[in-house]
Amino acid sequence: MLVTVIKLRGIMLEQKNKTLSPQEVRNILKADNREIVELCKSASIMPRKNKQGQTYFSYDEVKNLRKVQAQQSANYPVTRPIQAKQPAAMMTGIMSAINGLEKKISTELGKVIDEKLEGMDEVVVELIRCKTDNETLRQKVVDLNKEIYQLKNDVNTFRPVGLGLYKKKEKSMWE
């Protein structure tokens, strides 16, 4: 029976037809699941599943993944992904950002509306004053029309007598 001790990135492995779990592969390659999937695609490796349905890798597959990773890191500078926040923390951050935006938009919108409506108070007062003046003038027109009607009736009661003299005719009861 052949036992081989291998050191990959500071992790000592004993190979004795040993299979590696995804967690062990993540530790060996110092990569997250997404990166491991990309490496598997690049190396044309299909992870296998055991009888319990758990994914596993063979030592040779991990060795090939390590080679592909080394090639990719030689081609591209290594950038460490930012540690992902917990979902609850992310939701809290998103909610606080949304609340902040909502307050900012409300404040800005309120300022704009106040600026636009600033002169409206004076306009409303002026409209009320104009409406009152209009009603007053209408009543004057009605009163003047009544006065004109009365004066025309009075003028029609005068009859010319001659020599530029006029006599007022008596109104009968029937007129």
Over its length of 175 residues, how does the chain's per-residue pLDDT go in tens digits? 334 445 544 444 444 457 788 888 888 888 888 888 888 888 888 878 888 888 888 888 888 888 888 888 777 655 555 555 567 778 888 899 999 999 999 999 999 998 888 888 888 899 999 999 999 999 999 999 999 999 998 888 888 888 888 888 876 666 5
Matching residue, tokens 């909502």: 102
Cα gap 51→64, rounded to integer Å: 24
**Residue pair 160/166 in contact by the 8 Å Cβ criterion:** yes
Q: Which amino acid is at 63?
A: K
The CATH code belonging to domain 4-75 is 1.10.1660.10
Please compute Rg for the chain using Cα positions: 50
pLDDT at res. 84: 54
- Rounding to the nearest 10 degrees, give the CA dihedral for residues 120, 121, 125, 127: 20
Q: In terms of DSSP bridges, do strands 165-168 and 48-49 run parallel, antiparallel, or are they unpaired?
A: unpaired
What confidence score (pLDDT) does residue 87 get?
77
| Contact (CB, 8 A) for 55 and 40 | no
pLDDT at 102: 95
Instruction: Write down the pLDDT at residue 109.
Output: 94
Residue 132, CA atoms < 13 Å, CB-side half-sphere: 6
Q: Which of 22, 21, 17, 24 shows the shortest CA–CA distance to 1?
A: 17
Tokens 């609340």 found at: 99
Task: Identify the pLDDT of residue 10.
Answer: 47
- Residue 147 vs residues 49, 59, 89, 154, 155: alpha-carbon distances, Å: 110, 117, 85, 10, 12
Among 56, 53, 54, CA closest to 40: 56
Residue 9, classed as helix, strand or coil, is: coil
Q: What is the pTM of this model?
A: 0.36
